[in-house]
């Protein structure tokens, strides 16, 4: 793929991140100041996710994907769980750092939700460039599917990273909800048919809307 189409692909994939940046800026919150940091941290978590996925595959701890059980575990464990875990592992130390410095960028769990949302966008952008470059149809699917999905799930995992020490029970449930949303999307995205296609678009957008609403509610 030549340089110009690749740059265009990156710019289009970055459109959701630009819109989120404007949303934070218009809200006059401090998150835009470290927006590039969270974006890069999220993008970097993709490499950790790939490592974990290869490790699970090499260790052979999951059954063959030919069976229904194998397909379910492949979708929800090797893909969805490892990607959400990678986000948590990179977000948790930074959330802890900001809290210990006594200057969280937003009050309460809102900081984790916002940071995770941006980190998810970074993950989605890099994944789109890595897997979908050169396909206009693939770009469209990721712009309305996987990128909003990673942002929504990232927001949930960011909240987990910020509140795990205070509310471990609810934090674990929140993490599992991110894995469930992610895995369900993966199944629908890989299933032929119009209903599955509609579901693979609605689920990420509705999940993202819920995350945005939670961040906005925290501002009040």
pLDDT reported for residue 95: 78
Give residues with Cβ within 8 angstroms of 141, minimum separation 6. 132, 189, 200
pLDDT reported for residue 191: 86
pLDDT reported for residue 133: 59
Model confidence pLDDT, tens digit, residues 2-13: 655 677 778 888
pLDDT reported for residue 162: 84
Q: What's the rounded Cα separation, in Å, for the pair 143 and 201?
A: 10
Q: What's the rounded Cα separation, in Å, for the pair 207 and 152?
A: 6
Average pLDDT, the chain: 84
Q: How confident is the model at residue 178 (pLDDT cuts 50, 70, 90)?
A: very high
Q: What's the rounded Cα separation, in Å, for the pair 96 and 112?
A: 10
Q: What's the rounded Cα separation, in Å, for the pair 63 and 150?
A: 26
* pTM score: 0.88
Give residues with Cβ within 8 angstroms of 79, minimum separation 6. 53, 182, 183, 186
pLDDT reported for residue 50: 94
Q: Taking Cα atoms as reference points, which of 109, 118, 57, 120 lies closest to residue 83?
A: 120
Which bin fits 108, alpha (ψ -120 to 50), beta or left (φ > 0)? left
CA angle 108, 114, 119 (to 5 degrees): 135
- Backbone phi, then psi, for 105, in 5-degree steps? -70, -20
CA 105 to chain centroid: 20
Higher pLDDT, 44 or 106: 44
């Amino acid at each position: 793929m030549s340089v110009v189409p690749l740059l265009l692909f990156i710019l289009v994939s970055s459109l959701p991140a630009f819109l989120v940046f404007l949303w934070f800026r218009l809200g006059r919150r401090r998150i835009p100041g470290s927006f590039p940091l969270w974006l890069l941290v999220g993008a970097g978590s993709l490499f950790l996710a790939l490592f974990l996925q290869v490790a699970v595959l090499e260790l052979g701890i999951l059954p063959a994907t030919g069976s229904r059980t194998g397909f379910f575990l492949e979708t929800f464990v090797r893909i969805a769980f490892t990607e959400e875990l990678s986000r948590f592992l990179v977000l948790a130390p930074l959330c802890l750092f900001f809290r210990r410095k006594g200057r969280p960028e937003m009050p309460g769990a809102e900081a984790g939700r916002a940071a995770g949302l941006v980190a998810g966008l970074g993950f989605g952008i890099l994944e789109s460039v890595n897997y979908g470059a050169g396909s206009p149809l693939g770009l469209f699917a990721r712009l309305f599917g996987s990128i909003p999905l990673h942002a929504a799930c990232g927001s949930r995992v960011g909240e987990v990273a910020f509140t795990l020490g205070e509310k471990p029970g609810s934090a674990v449930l929140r993490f599992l909800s991110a894995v469930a949303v992610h895995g369900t999307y993966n199944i629908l995205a890989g299933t032929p048919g119009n209903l599955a296609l509609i579901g693979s678009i609605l689920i990420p957008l509705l999940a993202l809307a819920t995350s945005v609403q939670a961040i906005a509610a925290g501002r009040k």
